[in-house]
């Protein structure tokens, strides 16, 4: 098949959540022998250049740079309109022209779009099969933001959620098939009243890359891994440092907390002044930081879809304690493969139970990796996607 694959962030290298899922999908399509044309956006020339090796996994790359200084005003211009403002952040007239030119020159058998914010690029492009992979339902993420931010931001997030819900319903009706990352996200899509067939296939993890090694762990070290320019991550670590860590340090004075992730703003860097807290900023490889930790945490109050940080920690055999919101997108059993906590006392007890008992840590380490291998491999996920595409093609 000739495949047009459109996604909102150039999906290479697959180092962050918004790139990992689309990369694995398009790589799989290429490995199945399909001719894949990838159309996507980069925020800078450096990001575009870093993605050059994506050409090994596709037949053609259409990548346009749209810097934030252009994207942000495009968002603002949509504020007084019915169009979702966030869609403006991902709009490039030049990319639209290149996609239309490619469609005029090639008869695409499959149009596959990852993320609703770039669905507009293919509105006028016909194909025997058109699939929209929502991944996570962005409208519901904005609704959650509205509940966690003060006025007037809360009103802005609520309005964006309303606009997105309307747009998501329209998009689902315009495609032959809609997909999501988890059953919960699929239920959210269907609850919007979206028409047309819909299904889901999970995120996976590269369990060969994210694997245990012989690195000895530090029994007093806890880690959080995630991009620190992302509000839910910021909110999570701030709350953990404010409430959980001090209570834990009363019980275990030697406990330390490492915040590992790119682009921490100043108020996150300031957490490094707290006793026992380290903020690393960008690191070339997160794996050594995770493997050195006795456990990782995902204390997120806002979490949609699958948290890759959870899967990666489990794959490396490092136990994780997370919020119920963060655990919702992972196919794992609380207490058996990971621990789920709510409230300061539960967080302290869960973490202390791992730090103080090597046998408990070992049990969670083995069970967590086994669960990832059996339930969150990309191979199994792509087999499910193949079945979805085959069924939709009949």
Q: What is the DSSP string of 355-390?
A: HT-HHHHHHHHHHHHHHHHHHSBHHHHHHHHHHHHH
Q: Rounded to an integer, what distance in angstroms lies between the CA atom of residue 77 and that of residue 380?
A: 42
pLDDT in tens, 361-388: 999 999 999 999 999 999 999 999 999 9
Q: Is 81:107 a contact under the CB 8 Å cutoff? A: no
pLDDT at 132: 98
pLDDT at 277: 98
pTM, whole model, 2 decimals? 0.90
* Mean per-residue pLDDT over the chain, rounded: 95
Q: Rounded to an integer, what distance in angstroms lies between the CA atom of residue 328 and that of residue 314?
A: 15
pLDDT at 306: 84
pLDDT band at 265 (very low <50, low <70, confident <90, very high): very high
Higher-scoring residue by pLDDT: 304, 370: 370
DSSP label of 205: B
pLDDT at 131: 98
Could you tell me the maximum CA-CA distance found in the chain, to the nearest angstrom? 67
pLDDT band at 186 (very low <50, low <70, confident <90, very high): very high
Q: Is 207:238 a contact under the CB 8 Å cutoff? A: no
Give the percent of the chain with pLDDT over 70.
100
pLDDT in tens, 54-111: 999 999 999 999 999 999 999 999 999 999 999 999 999 999 999 999 999 999 999 9
Residue 143, phi then psi, degrees to nearest 5: -65, -40
pLDDT at 248: 98
pLDDT at 17 over 90: no
For the CA atoms of 268, 145, 333, 359, the dihedral, rounded to the nearest 10 degrees, stands at 10
**The dihedral of CA 126, 129, 135, 141: what is its sign?**
positive
Q: What is the DSSP string of 293-336?
A: EEEEEE--SS--S--HHHHHHHHTT--EEE-HHHHTTS---BTT
DSSP label of 338: B
pLDDT at 35: 98
pLDDT in tens, 114-166: 999 999 999 999 999 999 999 999 999 999 989 888 888 899 999 999 999 99
**The dihedral of CA 305, 285, 316, 248: what is its sign?**
negative
pLDDT at 344: 97
Contacts of 87 (CB under 8 A, 6+ apart): 78, 117, 120, 167
Q: Is 181:330 a contact under the CB 8 Å cutoff? A: no
pLDDT at 15 over 90: no
Task: Name all domains of the chain by residue range, CATH numbers in brackets.
Answer: 2-204+377-393 (3.40.50.2000), 218-375 (3.40.50.2000)
Give the percent of the chain with pLDDT over 90.
93
């Amino acid at each position: 098949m000739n495949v047009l694959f459109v996604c909102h962030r150039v999906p290479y290298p697959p180092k962050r959540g918004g790139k990992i899922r689309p990369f694995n999908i398009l790589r799989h399509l290429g490995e199945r022998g399909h001719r894949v044309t990838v159309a996507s956006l980069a925020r800078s020339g450096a990001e575009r250049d870093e993605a050059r090796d994506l050409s090994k996994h596709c037949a053609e790359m259409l990548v346009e740079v749209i810097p934030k200084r252009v994207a942000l005003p495009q968002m603002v211009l949509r504020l007084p309109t019915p169009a979702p403002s966030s869609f403006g952040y991902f709009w490039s007239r030049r990319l639209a022209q290149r996609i239309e030119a490619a469609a005029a020159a090639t008869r695409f058998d499959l149009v596959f779009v990852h993320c609703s914010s770039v669905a507009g690029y293919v509105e006028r492009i016909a194909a025997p099969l058109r699939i929209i992979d929502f991944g996570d339902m962005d409208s519901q993420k904005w609704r959650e933001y509205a509940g966690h931010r003060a006025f007037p931001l809360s009103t802005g997030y609520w309005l964006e959620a309303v606009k997105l819900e309307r747009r998501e319903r329209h998009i689902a009706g315009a495609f032959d098939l809609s997909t999501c990352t988890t059953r919960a996200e699929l239920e959210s899509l269907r609850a919007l009243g979206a028409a047309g067939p819909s299904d889901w296939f999970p995120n996976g993890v590269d369990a060969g890359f994210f694997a245990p090694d012989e690195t000895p762990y530090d029994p007093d070290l806890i880690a959080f891994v995630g991009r620190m320019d992302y509000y839910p991550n910021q909110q999570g670590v701030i709350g953990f440092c404010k409430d959980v860590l001090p209570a834990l340090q009363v019980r275990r004075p030697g406990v330390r907390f490492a915040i590992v992730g790119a682009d921490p703003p100043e108020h996150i860097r300031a957490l490094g002044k707290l006793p026992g807290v380290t903020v690393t900023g960008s690191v070339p490889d997160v794996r050594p930081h995770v493997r050195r930790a006795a456990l990782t945490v995902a204390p997120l109050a806002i979490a949609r879809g699958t948290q890759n940080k959870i899967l990666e920690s489990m794959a490396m055999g490092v136990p994780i304690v997370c919020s119920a919101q963060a655990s919702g997108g992972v196919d794992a059993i609380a207490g058996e493969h990971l621990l789920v906590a709510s409230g300061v006392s539960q967080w302290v007890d869960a973490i202390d139970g791992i730090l103080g008992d090597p046998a408990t840590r070992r049990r969670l380490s083995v069970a967590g990796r086994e669960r990832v291998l059996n339930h969150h491999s990309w191979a199994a996920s792509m087999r499910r996607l193949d079945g979805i595409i085959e069924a939709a093609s009949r």
